[in-house]
Chain A
Amino acid sequence: MFLTKEEEAMLNGEKGPAVQRAMEILVKYGKAMRAERMIPIEHAHVSMTTPKEYGLGFLEEMVSLGAKVIVPSTSQTMAIDRERYKELGFSDEFVAEQMKIINYFKQLGIELTFTCAPYIIIKPLKFGSHVAWCESSAITYINSIWGARTNRECAQSALLAAITGRTPEFGMHITEERKGTHHVKVIAKLSDESDFSALGYYVGKVLGPSIPVFEGVPKPKFDSYFRALSAGLALMGGIPMFHMIGVTPEAKTLNDAFQGDVPEDKLVITDEDLQSTYDELNTGNDEIQGVILGCPHYSLNDLECLANYIDNQKVKPGVKVWILTSYHTKKIAEKKGIIQRIETSGAMVISDTCPLLFGALPDLPKVFATNSAKQCYYGVPMLGSRYRFGPTEKVLKAAFTGKWV
C-alpha cells in the first residue's frame, strides 16, 4: 500500500502514539480491503456513544493515548436526552456512565451532536467529498443524495479516520464502484414517509448488498422521505447507496446510473409489495401506548409541519408521544416557538437519542405506533415492545385517540 511521507510519519510515531496506533490499524484495514493508498477525508461521523457498547474499551484506549480528531467530526445518537434524562426515567448510575462517554468525546474534540442524521445540521458536503461515516442510514443518505463518498464504516474505523484524517481508498470512494447494480421500477404509489420506509425495507430485503437504481419515483416532497428510504435500504440490505433517475446527482439518466452497463432484468415494486412490508412489521394490537416519529431524526421543517398539523389537538392521556430530533435542531425550534407548540399537545420532543436505546427504562409502552420500519424491526428484539406501522397521519391519530384505526 502506498503511503505519503506524512502518512509514513504518522505510522512511525512522529505524530504521537494515538495517531501511530490509528494508522497501524488503518493500514492493515486498507491492505485487507485491497486499497492502494489512503485518501484525505473532510469529515467523520463517529459512534461508540452509548454505555454497555461493546467497543467502549477501544474508545477508552484511544482517549488514554491522547487521541484528538483532526477533521470536523460529529457524534452518533447516545442513550439519553442531555436535558430530559430524569424526566424520561434513567437511573443516576446509567446517566453517570453516559456522562463519562460524553467526556471522552469532548476530549477527542468531536462535536457533541449526538444525532443519527448529522447531514441535517452540518454544512452540506460538496459533490465527491471523501468522508468516513458510521450510522448506516446516514451513509446511504449522503452517498446517494449529496454524492459524497463514504464506505459503511464501523465505529472504530470512523474514529481512526477522524484521528488521522485518512481512510483507505476502496469501495464507495471509487467512481466505478458506485455504479448501479439493480434496476428497480416502482409502480407502487408512494404518498407518505412510511411508504418510503417500507420501500427501502422491502428492496433491501430482496436485493441485499447492492446499489439499486430507482425508476418511477418522483422527487419526494420532503427530505424526510429520502431519510426514510435510506434507513430502510441500509437496515435490511446493508445498501451503501442508491440512485434515483432524474433525482440523485449520479443518475441524470438510466445509463448514467449504471455507467453504461444497464442490466436487462428489472425488479418491479407494486402496492402489494409495500403492503406485505406493512403486514410483516405490524406486530401489535390496536391499543396504542406509545408513538414514535423522527426516525431518522427530524429536521426543523419536519418539526414545523408537525406543529402545524397538531394545531390544538391533544394527546390521549397515558400515551407517550416521542418526537426525535437533534439537540441542535431542537434549540433552533425552541427559539421559533415550534417545540412549545408541539408540546402543548402533550407530546414530548426528545433530542440526542433513539427509543431503541431505551431498554433500561421502566414502563416502556407495550405497543408503539410509528412511521418508521427501522423502529418496528429492531424494537421487537431490543425493547420487547410491539409495533403498528403506518402513514404519519394515522400514527398521529393514534396519539390523539390511543387507538390504531
Chain B
Amino acid sequence: MGVIIMNDKKVIKCEGLVDGVAEGIALVTLDNFSFLGGADVETGEIVELGHSLKGHNLKGKILFFHSGRGSVGASSYLYYMGRRGTAPAGLGMVIPDPPVIIGAILAKIPVVKLSKEQLKQIKTGSKVKIDGSAGEIVILNE
C-alpha cells in the first residue's frame, strides 16, 4: 500500500487500531519508543538519551514510531500523560504492543498501524490527520 493523492492531499491507507480522529504535527522515528522513561510525563518532552527525537515535545503531536517494546509499565505512563494533558494526540506504529494500546485506549488517543515504508513517507514537522477507525493518514501540508 502506498500513498494516493486525493484532492491534492497525500492519503496513506493503513490499518485502524484504536478508534478516533486526531490532527497535529507529525513526529517521525524508525526507532522504538518507551513511554516509561522515554518522556517527561509532566511536560511531554522526549528525554531518552540518544533517541532520534530527543528534545521534541509529544504534547498534541502525532507520533509515528516503530514499536513500544520494553516494559509493560508504559501503559500507566501514557495514561498519566493523558490526564496531565501532555500526551500525543495520536499514534502511528509499525508493530503494536499491548501496553501502548491499553495506554492509548485509556487516554483516548487514536492509533493506526502502518508499514515501515509508509512511515518513511511522513516527515517530522508535517501537519497530519489520522483516523483510527478508517485506518487512514492524511498529510495536510508538508
Q: Which residues in chain B, 1-46, are within 8 Å of chain A measured between CB atoms?
A: 17-19, 37, 41
Instruction: Give CA–CA (A58, B72) in the complex, Å.
Output: 16
A1-37: which have CB < 8 Å to B?
25, 28-29, 31-33
Number of residues from A at the complex interface, CB < 8 A = 25
Does B54 touch A at the CB level, under 8 Å? no
| B101, CB-defined interface residue at 8 Å | yes
B102 touching A157, Cβ below 8 Å: yes
A151 to B101, CA, bound (A): 13
Report A-chain residues with C-beta under 8 Å of the C-beta of B41. 54
In the complex, how many angstroms separate the beta carbon of A22 from the nearest chain B beta carbon? 12
Q: Cβ of B98 < 8 Å from any Cβ of A?
A: yes
A134 CB-CB contact with B under 8 Å: yes
Residues of B within 8 A of A209 (CB): 69
Is A156 touching B73 in the complex (CB atoms < 8 A)?
Answer: no
Tell me if B96 counts as interface (CB < 8 A to partner A).
Answer: yes
Contact of A54 among B69, B80, B98, B102 (CB under 8 A): B80
In whole angstroms, how far apart are the Cα atoms of A381 and B37 in the complex?
10
0/1 interface trace, chain B 65-92, chain A, CB 8 Å (1 if under): 0000111111111011001000000000
- Give bound CA distance, A208 to B105, whole Å: 26
Interface residues of B toward A: which range?
A: 20 to 34
Q: How far is B72's CA from A79's CA once the two chains are assembled, in angstroms?
A: 18
How distant is the Cα of A299 from the Cα of B138 in the complex, in angstroms?
55
**Chain A residues, CB < 8 A from B80:** 54-55, 57
CA distance A208 to B34 in the complex (A): 14
Which residues from chain B contact A153 at a C-beta distance below 8 Å?
72, 98
Q: Which residues of chain A from 127 to 168 have any CB-CB distance to chain B below 8 Å in the complex?
A: 134, 136, 151-157
Cα–Cα, bound, A28→B105 (Å)? 7
Name the distance in Å between B70's Cβ and chain A's nearest Cβ. 6
Bound complex: CA A153 to CA B97 (Å)? 10
Interface flag for A53 (CB, 8 Å): yes
Interface residue? B106 (CB, 8 A): yes
Chain A residues near B19 (CB-CB < 8 A): 28
* Minimum CB–CB distance for A381 against chain B, Å: 8
Indicate which residue in A53, A156, A238 contacts B102 across the interface (CB closer than 8 Å).
Answer: A156
Partner of B75, one of A31, A57, A156: A156
The answer to whether A32 and B96 have CB atoms under 8 Å apart is: yes
**Residues of chain A with a CB closer than 8 A to B94's CB:** none
Of all chain A residues, the one with the shortest Cβ separation from B71 is A136
- The residue on A at minimum CB distance from B81 is A54
A67 to chain B: which residues have CB within 8 Å? none
**Does any Cβ of A come within 8 Å of B111's Cβ?**
yes
The answer, among A57, A152, A381, for a CB contact under 8 Å with B98, is A152
CB nearest to B83 among chain A residues = A57
Does the CB pair A208–B75 fall under 8 Å? no
Whether the Cβ atoms of B106 and A58 lie closer than 8 Å is yes
Given the contacts A54-B77, A57-B83, A151-B98, A134 and B106 also touching, CB distance less than 8 Å = no
Q: Which residues of A contact B79 (CB under 8 A)?
A: 54-55, 57-58, 156
Partner of A154, one of B18, B37, B76, B111: B76
Write out, one digit per residue, whether chain B residues 94-122 have a CB within 8 A of any chain A CB (1) or not (0): 00101101110110000100000000000
Q: Say if the beta carbon of A288 comes within 8 Å of chain B.
A: no
Q: Is there an interface contact between A155 and B76, defined as CB atoms closer than 8 Å?
A: yes
In-complex Cβ contact of B74 among A25, A48, A154, A381 (8 A): A154
Alpha-carbon gap, A238 to B72, bound state (A): 9
- Give the chain B neighbours of A25 by CB distance below 8 A: 102, 105-106
Would you list the 5 A-B pairs with minimal beta carbon distance, nearest first?
Answer: A55-B76, A54-B80, A154-B75, A32-B17, A54-B76
A55-B80, A154-B102, A238-B69 given; name 10 further pairs at CB < 8 Å: A25-B102, A25-B105, A25-B106, A31-B17, A54-B77, A58-B79, A136-B71, A154-B76, A155-B75, A156-B102
Interface CB pairs A-B, < 8 A, 29 = A28-B18, A28-B19, A28-B105, A29-B102, A29-B105, A32-B17, A32-B96, A32-B105, A33-B101, A53-B76, A54-B41, A54-B76, A54-B80, A55-B75, A55-B80, A57-B79, A58-B106, A136-B71, A136-B72, A152-B98, A152-B99, A153-B72, A153-B98, A154-B73, A155-B75, A156-B75, A156-B79, A156-B102, A157-B98
